[in-house]
Amino acid sequence: MASLDITKIIALIENYFVPCQPHIRKELEQVLKNPHVSHEAVVTLVKKDVSIAAAVLQITNTPAFKSRAITQKPVVFLDDAVARLGNVHLQRLIATLGARDDYRHMDHYRFDSFWDGALDAAVAAAALARQLGCASPDEAYMLGLFRDCGIPILLQAFPQYYKEVLLTANQRPLNDLPSIEDKYLGINHQTVGYAIAQHWSLPEVISRAILTHHDIEPPSNTDHSLTIKKNTLVALVQVAERISLRFRAIDYQNSNLQGQEWLSFDPRIAEHLNLDIDDLKNLMLDTLDHMEELLGL
């Protein structure tokens, strides 16, 4: 993995952003006009969009909002963040995000697969975490939603080169994407995503997991417990990503997604989730069968 080039990453964050999904933004604008809308309905919509969810977390962790809260602890879950922000402030936030996106004339179609993959991985990872009881479903959801947040930035910063990156990546195993990005761009979506996560005030375990979400990191002596927790979330999301790709029937040419070979994965993932390979494969197939239900389709 490339080292963190702080100057380059700061320039990317200052000049590019993760756009909102237009239909989610408009739906939120409509439901927030209803003074009797339920908290659950609002949270459900916020959690479907990477940019809106991140903005809610970021704002509610600013000093101004912390000073209004009973506790000064950072908000780490989206349900709590939406409650702390309140519907009036959320309406203003949605309007601001919409004005930003409209001003930049975003080509939204370029981000469709990113948005779909983020939501798929989030709901699948949360479902796996609930079933296995190995991690917080909320944290698994957040990592699934935010793990690839660096990709839209790179798509905007390197529109021509990134096409070559994706074409090359489609011929290789899923975990090779960061190394291919490093070769073509001199930076990868994991390092960019980590910096964005820090900028958004995401929990440290989520930020660290974004930085290494394509691999299981060996435990260190200094932060052993954080690494173990992070690795569990990464293992869940790697499984969830394979489920998402098969659910969307993305025609990647690598063997991981052809026929039943999409069930192939690093054996360390099954080991880290305390499952044998056959049990994990059965769990993947079962989760795949329930994806429409999980997504509310």
Query: What's 277's domain CATH number?
Result: 1.10.3210.10
Picking from 73, 104, 135, the residue at the C-terminal end of a domain is 104
Picking from 45, 71, 104, the residue at the C-terminal end of a domain is 104
- Residue 263 CA, distance from chain mean position: 21
> 95 and 118 share a domain?
no
**Phi/psi class of residue 279: alpha, beta or left (left: φ > 0; alpha: ψ in -120 to 50)?**
alpha
Structural domain for 226, as ranges: 108-295
> 145 and 181 share a domain?
yes
> Has residue 15 been placed in a domain?
no
What residue type is assigned to position 239 of the chain?
Answer: V
> 219 and 291 share a domain?
yes
- Give the residue ranges of DSSP H helices in 61-188: 63-66, 78-85, 87-104, 112-132, 137-146, 150-157, 159-169, 177-185
Question: pLDDT per position in the chain (297 positions), as tens?
Answer: 444 566 778 788 888 889 999 999 999 999 999 999 999 999 999 999 999 999 999 999 888 776 565 556 788 899 999 999 999 999 999 999 998 888 766 665 578 889 999 999 999 999 999 999 999 999 999 999 999 999 999 988 998 888 788 888 877 776 788 999 998 888 999 999 999 999 898 999 999 999 999 988 877 666 778 888 999 999 999 999 999 988 887 544 443 445 565 677 778 888 889 999 899 999 999 999 999 999 987
Quote the CA–CA distance of 100 and 189 in Å, as a whole number: 22
> Has residue 201 been placed in a domain?
yes
> Has residue 113 been placed in a domain?
yes
CA distances from residue 75 to 68, 82, 199, 203, 235 in whole angstroms, order as listed: 13, 10, 14, 8, 24
29 closest CA partner among 129, 122, 97, 114: 97
> 95 and 116 share a domain?
no
205 closest CA partner among 119, 286, 136: 136
Residue 165 CB contacts under 8 Å (≥ 6 apart), including other chains: 154, 158, 177, 180, 181, 184, 185
> Has residue 9 been placed in a domain?
no
Q: What pLDDT, on the 0 to 100 scale, is given for residue 154?
A: 92
Q: What pLDDT, on the 0 to 100 scale, is given for residue 57?
A: 93
Based on the structure, what is the number of domains in the chain? 2
User: What backbone torsions phi and psi does residue 25 show, to the nearest 5 degrees?
Assistant: -60, -45
Report the chain's mean pLDDT, rounded to a whole number: 86
DSSP state of 217: P
Q: What pLDDT, on the 0 to 100 scale, is given for residue 92?
A: 94
> 142 and 249 share a domain?
yes
> 190 and 267 share a domain?
yes
DSSP state of 200: T
> 284 and 138 share a domain?
yes
> Has residue 95 been placed in a domain?
yes
Q: What DSSP letter does each residue of 24-83 carry, written as one string? A: HHHHHHHHTT-TT--HHHHHHHHTT-HHHHHHHHHHHTSHHHHTTSSS-SPP-SHHHHHH
Instruction: For tokens 């690494």, name the residue.
Output: 227
> Has residue 126 been placed in a domain?
yes
Q: Greatest CA separation found in the chain?
A: 54
Can you give the pTM of this predicted structure?
A: 0.89
> 90 and 124 share a domain?
no
> Has residue 138 been placed in a domain?
yes
pLDDT digits (tens, 9 = 90+) for 34-48: 999 999 999 999 999
> 282 and 160 share a domain?
yes
> Has residue 266 been placed in a domain?
yes
Q: Are 226 and 204 in contact (CB under 8 A)?
A: yes
Q: What pLDDT, on the 0 to 100 scale, is given for residue 253?
A: 41
Q: Are 102 and 20 in contact (CB under 8 A)?
A: no
Picking from 47, 72, 104, the residue at the C-terminal end of a domain is 104
> 178 and 258 share a domain?
yes
> 117 and 210 share a domain?
yes
DSSP state of 232: H
> 119 and 228 share a domain?
yes
